[in-house]
Chain A
Amino acid sequence: MRGIVRPLLLGVAVLAVLAVALIYAMARKGLSTRVEPSWIEERAALAMRGLATPAAVRNTRNPVGKTPEVLEAGLTHFADHCASCHGNDGSGTPMGKSFYPPVPDMRRERTQRLTDGELFSIIENGIRLTGMPAWGNGTPEGEASSWALVHFIRRLPSLPADDVARMQDLNPKSPAEFREEEEARRFLAGDEPATTPRPMARPGHH
């Protein structure tokens, strides 16, 4: 009995020290999302991603044919719904990279090695403890759209620059962004002066 008490007390003491150090670190630095997630949090997010896929769906192969129409629908859908966080090329936007954990670079192995069923399930059901929402609406049309997205995600590692550029016209834009784009278009076409004179300072104004 005595042999167990000592290691047990030591274990409790170590946990107490860790807890105090953790609370101290949190109180001193706060809990910012502007750091890389620790491996515990990364493991938790990956575990959640694993649990997000029902076993029956995991090995399901994409039932939607890879036709040009389906690939185009996937591209359009991705540009409209996914690109604001994942980027048109799947590398992640500044906003997506500021999530905690940040969105993955979908061109890389960690995403590409997921099965069709896992990608489909993530799109449909989202991933808890991350910024990934559930896009599924329970309709056959919605599921077909998600399978088209799975086809598109497979294209990301070798997506041509022309397609990425074309997607910019399909991204959701605010009126201010429309104005900015129009200004850029007119500037590139030479319809605007190369430099705009700065307004002169008004006399007597500091």
Chain B
Amino acid sequence: MTRRMMLCAMALASVVGGGVAAHEGHEHKILGTVTMAASDHLMLKDKAGKDVTVQITDATKVLRDKKAAALADIKAGMRVVVTAVTEKKDNVERMRAKQIDLGTLTAQK
């Protein structure tokens, strides 16, 4: 009887659904100047003057003039356009970079 009840419960769980969110945040672009570059995140000052941090993952693509570049090419003072998605992990919202387009390097003050 217990086995039957367990089977019923499993069948019900499969019908009702897992409850894991599949939705991903919308992509948006951040235009900014790099203030600090690390292997796993990037800090920049956006066009509005706001400090923004984006996470870098293995899947993050780095491009210069639409050609593949390396993370090591990112320097402080460089203009970048980051295509990022907002994610919520452990109740903390963070931005994950999908693509980083590199631009000109401006002199640091």
Across the interface, do B14 and A40 meet the contact criterion of CB distance under 8 Å? yes
Which residues of B lie under 8 Å from residue A64 when comparing CB positions?
A: none
Across the interface, do B22 and A35 meet the contact criterion of CB distance under 8 Å? yes
List A43-101 residues whose CB lies under 8 Å from chain B. 94, 97-98
The segment from A113-121, A136-144, A148-156, A190-198 found at the interface with B is: A190-198
Interface footprint category on B: 35 or more
Residue from the list A22, A98, A164, A190 in contact with B22, Cβ < 8 A: A98
How many CB-defined contacts (below 8 Å) exist between A and B? 108
CA distance A189 to B104 in the complex (A): 6
Which residues of A lie under 8 Å from residue B27 when comparing CB positions?
A: 94
Across the interface, do A162 and B68 meet the contact criterion of CB distance under 8 Å? yes
Fill in one digit per residue for B4-28: 1 if any A CB lies within 8 Å of its CB, else 0: 1000100110111111111111110
Query: How distant is B21 from chain A, measured CB to nearest CB, in Å?
Result: 6
Interface footprint category on A: 35 or more
Query: How distant is A102 from chain B, measured CB to nearest CB, in Å?
Result: 6
Across the interface, do A194 and B47 meet the contact criterion of CB distance under 8 Å? yes
Across the interface, do A165 and B66 meet the contact criterion of CB distance under 8 Å? yes
> Which A-B residue pairs are the 4 nearest by beta carbons?
A188-B103, A161-B68, A165-B66, A190-B104
Besides A37-B17, A39-B14, A160-B68, 14 more A-B contacts (Cβ < 8 Å) are: A21-B16, A22-B12, A34-B21, A36-B17, A38-B17, A94-B25, A98-B23, A161-B61, A165-B61, A166-B66, A180-B29, A188-B79, A195-B33, A198-B49
